[in-house]
Amino acid sequence: MPQLDISQQVERLRRLAGDFEALHSQVNGLAYRPGTDALYKISPLILKVQDLTAQAIRQLPALDVDDSRHTTSADSRSRLQTLASVVSSASLAGTDLANALYANPYQGTGFLGS
């Protein structure tokens, strides 16, 4: 397995952190009206959370490779645990957004059946 380029990995993680921070700002500033407006504003954020979570998950194996220089550094375990907690927190945030969408009343929309 090729050696992990630490500087590239650091840059990837910094970009990912910036993307998460931008998404956090978007979610905190989110305002919507019940119904279709909520659907159109929340749905893209859920997709973005899922995309960023997938990117974070792809970084985990890169940091946990047995022959990596990263695993020999003193705080490698805490870095790996921090990234894993980011994956967990992002997943929970996505769930919260999905629950907000689920709780949306969709008033004014007619549905067939009971």
Q: pLDDT per residue over 4-40, tens digit each?
A: 577 787 788 889 999 999 999 999 999 998 888 899 9
Residue 69 DSSP code: S
What pLDDT band is residue 99 in, cutting at 50, 70 and 90?
very high
Alpha carbon distance 11, 56 (integer Å):
13
**HSE on the CB side for 102, CA within 13 Å?**
6
- For 3, 13, 68, 85, 90, the CA distances from 7, given in Å and listed in that order, are 12, 10, 13, 22, 24
Is residue 39 within 8 A of residue 109, CB to CB? The reply is no
Total-model pTM: 0.76
pLDDT 10s digits, 31-84: 998 888 899 999 999 999 999 999 988 887 776 655 556 566 667 778 778 888
Alpha carbon distance 83, 55 (integer Å):
11
